[in-house]
């Protein structure tokens, strides 16, 4: 299928409206579609005008595309190991006419330090696999499994490469699961990424948090701000106003 934008859709693919700048994204319903965590990370990340941004494990390119819509970044790069996902990301970039602003690179996060110059990015973002290999893994070759489980990279791999690629004083933005918070803090400390800001995300006000957003600074001084909780739903099916604003509704 070929639409008016000269972008070919493959089997099981669809085009979704991102509600930002008229941007759209191609997704494969049989593989892995972006979730709220990517949207929340794009809202949590602080990107200054003129910044160069790298997204580690970009999937179908949702975070670079949203950050291009929301910020004044000079250039954004997405790194993705799965070629099918990287191909979808490139076609989404083309669909939105963003070829001059966003590059999609096929490659391994563990080798990011050899793909890009050291200390060459102002901001690094990542929405990495949350689960360890042993946690409920069924098919390790499945695209969804690769996106959700640490099959091809670990938390430490992501943190280590972020530290290597950030400029001194640059910022790393991560979304992850609270049950791994202690491990996250240890890894950030080990690679001299100082946690500066944290926000817990709760599905409902009376539930436990199911996501954590973290900002860390390369070489920063110790002092972290814990922001007020982010509540997703007022009641079933009804977003809180802050979530509605993040989605651009």
Q: What is the chain's pLDDT, residue by residue, as a tens digit (249 residues)?
A: 343 457 889 988 999 999 999 999 999 988 778 889 999 999 999 999 999 999 999 999 999 999 999 999 999 999 999 999 999 999 999 999 999 999 999 999 999 999 999 999 999 999 997 656 555 545 555 555 444 544 567 999 999 999 999 999 999 999 999 999 999 999 999 999 999 999 999 999 999 999 999 999 999 999 999 999 999 999 999 999 999 998 876
Give yes or no for a contact between 102 and 63, defined as CB atoms under 8 angstroms apart. no
For residue 4, being part of any structural domain is answered with: no
The residue count of the chain comes to 249
Both tokens assigned to 35? 């979730």
Domain of 55, CATH number, reads: 3.40.50.150
Closest CA to 169 of 119, 124, 117, 219: 219
What is the tally of structural domains in the chain? Answer: 1
Give yes or no for a contact between 12 and 28, defined as CB atoms under 8 angstroms apart. yes
How many angstroms separate the first and last alpha carbons of the chain?
A: 29
Instruction: Provide the 3-class DSSP secondary structure of residue 17.
Output: strand
For residue 112, being part of any structural domain is answered with: yes
DSSP per-residue string spanning 68-98:
HHHS--SEEEEEES-HHHHHHHHHHHHHTT-
Instruction: Provide the 3-class DSSP secondary structure of residue 55.
Output: strand
What lies within 8 Å, CB to CB, of 62 at 6+ separation is 18, 25, 34, 38, 39, 42
Outline where 62-197 has alpha helix (H). 62-70, 83-95, 112-115, 143-148, 155-165, 181-190
For residue 6, being part of any structural domain is answered with: no
Q: Residues 134-181: pLDDT tens digits? A: 555 455 555 554 445 445 679 999 999 999 999 999 999 999 999 999
For residue 149, being part of any structural domain is answered with: yes
Give yes or no for a contact between 239 and 233, defined as CB atoms under 8 angstroms apart. yes
For residue 7, being part of any structural domain is answered with: no
CA–CA gap between residue 240 and residue 233 (Å, rounded): 5
For residue 8, being part of any structural domain is answered with: no
Instruction: Provide the 3-class DSSP secondary structure of residue 104.
Output: strand
CA–CA gap between residue 221 and residue 181 (Å, rounded): 20
For residue 1, being part of any structural domain is answered with: no
Tell me which residue range forms the domain holding 186: 13-247
Give yes or no for a contact between 217 and 194, defined as CB atoms under 8 angstroms apart. yes
For residue 3, being part of any structural domain is answered with: no
Nearest-10 Cα torsion for 71, 67, 238, 59:
180
Q: Residues 47-69: pLDDT tens digits? A: 999 999 999 999 999 999 999 99
């Amino acid at each position: 299928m070929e639409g008016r934008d000269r972008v070919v859709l493959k089997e099981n693919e669809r085009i979704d409206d991102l509600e930002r700048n008229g941007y759209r994204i191609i997704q494969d319903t049989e593989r892995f579609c972006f979730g709220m965590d990517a949207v929340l990370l794009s809202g949590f990340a602080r990107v200054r005008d003129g910044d160069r941004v790298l997204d580690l494990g970009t999937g179908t390119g949702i975070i670079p595309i949203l950050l291009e819509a929301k910020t004044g970044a000079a250039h954004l790069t997405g790194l993705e190991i799965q070629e099918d996902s990287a191909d979808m990301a490139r076609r989404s970039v083309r669909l939105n006419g963003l070829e001059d602003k966003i590059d999609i690179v096929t490659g391994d996060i563990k080798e990011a330090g050899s793909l890009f110059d050291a200390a060459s990015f102002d901001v690094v973002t990542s929405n990495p696999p949350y689960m360890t290999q042993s946690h409920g893994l069924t098919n390790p070759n499945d695209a969804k499994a690769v996106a959700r489980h640490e099959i091809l990279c670990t938390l430490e791999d992501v943190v280590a490469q972020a530290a290597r690629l950030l400029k001194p004083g640059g910022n790393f933005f991560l979304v992850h699961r609270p049950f791994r918070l202690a491990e996250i803090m240890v890894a950030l400390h080990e690679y001299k990424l100082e946690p500066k800001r944290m926000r817990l995300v709760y599905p409902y006000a009376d539930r436990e948090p199911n996501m954590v957003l973290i900002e860390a600074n390369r070489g920063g001084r110790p002092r972290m701000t814990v922001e007020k909780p982010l509540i997703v739903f007022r009641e079933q099916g009804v977003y809180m106003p802050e979530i509605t604003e993040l989605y651009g509704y």
